[in-house]
Amino acid sequence: MNPLLDQFITEGRDILQTIGERLLQLEDTPDDSALMGELFRLVHTLKGNSGLFDLPEMTRVLHAAEDLMDAVRDGRRPFDRPVADRLLEAMDFVLALIDEIGDSAESAPPNTARHANDALELANALRSLLAAAQATTPTAAATEPEATPAPAPAPAALPLESLPSRIQQELTQRLEAGQPLCWLTYEPEEECFFKGEDPFHQILQLGDPCWRRVSSREDWPPLAELDAYRCILRFEAILNTPAEALHEHFRYIPEQVRIIPLQPPAPTSASSPEPPPDAETTWSFNVVLEAQREILGLTDNPPWLSGRLRAVATTLEAAFASIGQVVERDALEQALHSADASHSSQPLLNWLDEQQRLGDTQLPTAASPPGAPAEDIAPPPEAQEPQEPIKFGRRAEDRLAGHTLKVDQAKVDRLMNLIGEMVVTKNALPYLANRAEEVFGTRELAREIKAQYGIINRIAEEMQDAIMQIRMMPVSFVLQRFPRLVRDTARKLGKEVRLVMEGESTEADKNIIEALADPLVHIVRNSLDHGLESPAERSAAGKPTEGRLTISARQESDRVVIEISDDGRGIDPDRIRRKAYERGLIGEPELERLTDQEAINLVFAAGFSTAEQVSDLSGRGVGMDVVRNAIACVNGAVELHSQLGQGTRLRLSLPLSMAVTNVMIIESAGQRFGVPMDRVAETVRVARNDIRTIKRRLTTVLRGRLVPLVTLNDLLALTIEQVPNDDDEFAVLVVRIGADHLGIIVDDCRETVDIILKPLGGVLAGLGGYAGSALLGDGSVLLVLNPRELL
C-alpha cells in the first residue's frame, strides 16, 4: 500500500491547491457553472480516493462539503462569503490531515481518530449552511406562483424504430405493465480519465439494462494514430430505473448525460402494417462479418492461431444468431477442427461462405451506412491493396508527447550531483594536457587530450543544461499561495485589496523558487499592514476604496526579477529618519545628511520597525532585514523605491540557478581563492601612483568615479604585503556590494571556471566570509569568498 499511499498524498495536495484557487475565483464570478462543476469533480475525486484508506474524518468533512456545493449548484444556496469561508476551512483541515499522513514514517495511514471532534464540528458547520438553505426553500416557493413543469422531450425524438424488433416488443410490454423505463445517453468528457472518472464503471453500476449500445462520437482514427487517453465514447441504454435515481447517480456530471423517460406507445389499429426490416441490425451484422474475415485473412503461422480461430468461431456463431439464422453446431465444430489440424484459417472461411450462402445474406458492406444498396460489396481481403505497416515506435512517441512524467525530487537532485561531479572531472583534462606537454614533453598527446576535452565539455554542458531544465519550476509554485493569504489578511485588517499576479509562468531553479517563499510572505504582509490604507483613508485621499497589490515576475538575461508594488501610502523618509534616530541606528550627523533614498533603505536595518504596537503581522522588528539576508543567501539583490502618497515598489533580482557557480580564481599570499562572477564588476590594473589615501582609506579614480580600495590580505588578517607586477601595478578586483562598487587589491587574477559550490561544515560553518568550497580539476580545494560578508 505504500506506493498507493504516496500517490494519494501527492495527488491530494495538488487537488487541494486547485480547489483553493477555484474557490477564490468563484468569489469573483459566483455564477460560473463551469467552475462549480469542476469543483464538484475535484472534491468527489478526493473523497473517492480517501475511501481507499481508513480515513473517516477526512471522508466525513469532504462528504459534507460535497453536499453543500451540490446545494449551491442547484440554486438552493447562493455562493457567498460564508460558504467560501467554510469550504476553505474544510480544505485546510483536509490538507492538515494529508500533511500529517505524509510526515508519518509508517507505511499505512496513521490513526487520525484524535481529529474526530474537529471533523464532526466542521462537518456540522458545513451542513448548517445547507440546512439554512433548505429551510428557506419552502417559504420562497410558497410566495411564488407554481411553475409549470417543462415537458419531457418527446419519445419520437429517440431512434426507437432503429432498435431490433424483439427489443421494441419487450419495451412495449414493460411500458404497458407500468415499469419506469428511461433512455440514457452518456457522453463522457474527453479528459475524463485524467479526472479520476471511469465511464464503464458508471454504466456497469446501473445494473442490467433492457438494451445497451456503445459507440463513438466521431470516426475512430487509424490504430497507429489512436490516442488511448482521449475518450470519445457514447453510451446509450434503456434502463428499468426511475429518472430521479439516474439523476442522483450522475449528479456530479449532469452536463454529460441526457435522461428521457419513455412513454407507452399509443394504441394502433389491427390493420397497421408490419415494421420494416431492422436495417441497423443487418448493417451491424455485416460489420462484424467483415471484421472476422479480416482477422481470418491474417498470417496463419503464429503460435496463437488456435486461440484466435476459436474466438472468431464464437463471434460468428453469435453474429448469425443475432439475425435469427440457425447455425449447425456440428458443421462449425468440424470446420474449426480442420482449421486447427491444418494450421490454416481457410476451413473456417469456407464455413463462413457456406453459411452466408445458406442464409442468402446479401447485406450492406461494413463501409456502407444502413440503407446503402446491396450491390456495394467490399472486395475480399486478398483483393484489397496492402496497407502501409504501422510504425508503432514513432506513433507511440507522438501520442505520448503531450503527457507529463512525475519524478521524485530526490532522483533529480542525484542527477544534479552526478553532473556536478562530471563537471569537476572534465576540468581535470586541461591539467593533464599541460602536464603531458610541459613535464613529459608529449605535445601530440596533449593536443589529443585537449580535443577530447572539447567533446566531453560539450556533452557535459548539454547534460547539465538538460538536467537544470528539469529542475526549473514556474514562479506560480510560490505565487499560488498568495490569493488566499491576501484575502484572509486583508479581511483581518478590514481592508479591501485586489491582488494582481503577472508572469506566473516565469521559471527558475527549484532552490531559487523555494528560497523566495518566506521573503515574499514578509513583503506581502508588510504591504498589506503598512503600505495599503483602510477604505476610509483611501476615500479621504481621493483613491478608490479598493487597494491594488501587484506581484509580477519576468526573466532578464540570466536572472529572474520579481517586483511587488502597491498603490498605498508609500514610505515617509522623515518618519524613517526619526525612528532610526530614536532606536540608535543612526547618529545626529546622519540624521541631517541622509538622502531620502538612503533613509528609505534604513528599513533593511536589523530590528527596525515603524509599527506603533506589536501584532501577529508586524511590529517585532523582524521583516525586511530577513528579506535582504534571505535574498543575499541565494546571490540575489533587493531594491526598494517609494513615493509618499503613491505607493511602494520592491524589486528582487535573483540568479536563474545555483546548481553550478561560475567563479574567478584570484591569487593572494601564495594561495588561490574564488570569487563568484555575479559579484565581479570588472578587473583592472592600477598603478601605485594612482592610489590615494583619504581619511586613512585607500581610494582610486576609475572612469571619473571614486572607488574605495581594500587589500585582500588585510581582509583575511594576513601580514603579507600585496605583490604588484613588474610595472608596479596592482591587480584590482572591482566587486558590487548592493548599489556600490569597491575594489579589492589582490596579487593576480586568473581564469574563470564552473564549480559545484559546497557549503562549509563543522567548525568552519561559522566563517561568514566564505561562501563555501569547491574541488578543482587538479584535485586541490578552492575556498570561495563571500565579498558581501567579508566587507
pLDDT tens digit sequence for 243-258 = 888 888 887 677 788 8
Model pLDDT, residue 234: 92
pLDDT for 710 equals 93
- Tell me the pLDDT band of 729, cut-offs 50, 70 and 90: very high
Residue 345: CB atoms within 10 A of its CB come to 21
Predicted confidence band of residue 488 (pLDDT cuts 50, 70, 90): confident
Let me know whether 510 and 615 are in one domain. yes
Higher pLDDT, 248 or 749: 749
User: Are 354 and 482 in a shared domain?
Assistant: no
Give the number of other Cβ atoms within 10 Å of residue 82's Cβ. Answer: 14
Mean pLDDT value of segment 240-245: 88
Residue 650 CB burial class (10 angstroms; 0-12, 13-18, ≥19): buried
Predicted confidence (pLDDT) at residue 94 exceeds the cutoff of 50: yes
Contact yes or no for 22/32 (Cβ under 8 A)? no
Q: How far is CA 403 from CA 6, 194, 398, 399, 494, in A?
A: 20, 11, 10, 9, 45
End residue of a domain, out of 616, 636, 655: 655
3-state secondary structure at position 137 = helix
- In sequence order, what DSSP letters do the residues of 42-97 get, joined into one string? HHHHHHHHHTTSS-HHHHHHHHHHHHHHHHHHTTSS---HHHHHHHHHHHHHHHHH
What would the DSSP string read from start to end of 547-598?
EEEEEEEEEETTEEEEEEEE-S----HHHHHHHHHHTTSS-HHHHHH--HHH
Looking at the structure, tell me whether residues 571 and 639 fall in a common domain: yes
Dig out the grid coordinates for 492 from the structure: 483581518
What's the CATH number where 497 sits?
3.30.565.10
More confident residue, 400 or 594: 594
Q: Does residue 747 register a pLDDT over 90?
A: yes
User: Is the same domain home to 608 and 736?
Assistant: no
Return the exposure string of 562-586: e unless at least 16 CB atoms fall within 10 Å of the residue's CB, then b.
Answer: bbbbbbbbbbbbeebbebbeeeebb
Is there a contact between 576 and 582 (Cβ–Cβ < 8 Å)? no
**Between 609 and 85, whose confidence is greater?**
85
Residue 576 lies in a domain: yes
Is there a domain that residue 60 lies in?
yes
Output the CA angle 472-475-476, nearest 5 degrees. 120
Distance (Å, whole) CA 370 – CA 363? 9
Residue 492 located in a structural domain: yes
Q: Which grid coordinates belong to 580?
A: 532610526
Q: Classify burial at 483, counting beta carbons within 10 Å of its beta carbon; exposed 0-12, middle 13-18, buried 19 or more.
A: middle
Q: Please check whether residues 665 and 774 belong to one and the same domain.
A: yes
The pTM (predicted TM-score) of the whole model is 0.55
142 in a structural domain: no
When pLDDT is averaged across residues 651-659 and rounded to a whole number, the result is: 81
Instruction: List the domain range (segments joined by +) for residue 323.
Output: 279-382
Contact 790, 715 (CB under 8 A): yes
Which cell numbers in the block locate residue 41?
469533480
* Confidence at residue 276, expressed as pLDDT on a 0 to 100 scale: 45
Q: How far is CA 588 from the centre of its chain?
A: 54
Q: Measure the CA–CA gap between 101 and 93, rounded to whole angstroms.
A: 13
In the DSSP assignment, the letter for residue 425 is H
The verdict on 480 and 466 lying in the same domain is: no
Q: Is residue 41 a part of any domain in this protein?
A: yes
Q: Which of 204-218, 301-315, 388-402, 687-701 has the lowest mean pLDDT?
A: 388-402
Task: Extract the C-alpha cell encoding 291.
Answer: 471484421
Q: What percent of the chain has pLDDT over 70?
A: 83
What are the cell numbers at 506? Answer: 516565469
Is residue 380 very low, low, confident or very high in pLDDT (cuts 50, 70, 90)? very low
Q: What is the pLDDT confidence band of residue 283, given thresholds at 50, 70 and 90?
A: low
Residues 6+ apart with CB under 8 A from 94: 12, 16, 46, 58, 61, 62
Same domain for 413 and 517, yes or no, is no
Asked whether the CA dihedral 603, 608, 614, 615 is positive or negative, the reply is: positive
In terms of domains, do 647 and 539 share one? yes
The predicted model gives 662-691 an average pLDDT of 90
Distance, in Å, from the CA atom of 607 to the CA atom of 767, rounded to the nearest integer, reads 23
Q: Is the pLDDT of residue 378 over 80?
A: no
Boundary of a domain, candidates 418, 445, 473: 473
Whether 391 maps to a domain, the answer reads no
Sign of the dihedral through C-alpha 66, 70, 72, 76 = negative
Q: CATH no. for residue 76?
A: 1.20.120.160
Band of pLDDT at residue 403, cut at 50, 70 and 90:
low
Is the pLDDT higher at 182 or at 424?
182
Which of 192, 227, 261 corresponds to the end of one domain? 261
Q: Which residues pair with 153 in a beta bridge?
A: none
What mean pLDDT is reported for the chain? 79
What's 686's domain CATH number? 2.40.50.180
391 or 563, higher pLDDT: 563
pLDDT value of residue 666: 93
Percentage of the chain modeled with pLDDT above 90: 13
Q: What is the mean predicted confidence (pLDDT) over 713-717? A: 90
Choose between 416 and 610: higher pLDDT.
416
pLDDT at position 618: 55
Same domain, 124 and 16: yes
pLDDT one-digit tens code per residue, 198-223? 888 888 888 888 888 899 988 888 88
pLDDT digits (tens, 9 = 90+) for 118-143: 888 888 888 888 776 665 554 444 44
Domain co-membership, 127 together with 168: no
Residues 552, 650, single domain; the answer is yes
Q: Does position 35 have pLDDT exceeding 90, yes or no?
A: no
pLDDT at position 331 over 70: yes
Distance set, CA 611 to CA 92, 278, 528, 618, 622 (Å): 30, 85, 13, 7, 11
* Tally of structural domains, the chain: 6
The better pLDDT of the pair 640, 132 is held by: 640
Residues 745-768, mean pLDDT to the nearest whole number: 84
What is the average per-residue pLDDT within 615-619? 54
In a domain, 143, yes or no: no
pLDDT tens-digit profile of 252-278?
Answer: 677 788 898 888 766 654 444 444 445
Check whether 558 has a pLDDT greater than 90: no
Give the pLDDT score at 675.
93
Residue 274 inside a domain? The answer is no
The confidence band for 107, taking pLDDT boundaries of 50, 70 and 90, is low
pLDDT score for 733: 93
Give the CATH number, domain containing residue 248.
3.30.70
Is 466 exposed, middle or buried (CB count within 10 Å of its CB: 0-12, 13-18, 19+)? exposed
458-to-426, 442, 592, 663, 771 alpha-carbon distances in Å: 10, 25, 57, 19, 28
Q: Note whether 86 and 126 are within 8 A (CB).
A: yes
**Phi-psi sector, 283: left (phi>0), alpha (psi -120 to 50), beta:** alpha
Please check the confidence at residue 564 and state whether its pLDDT lies above 90: yes
Q: What span, in angstroms and rounded, lies between the C-alpha atoms of 617 and 489?
A: 9
Residues 773 and 643 in one domain: no
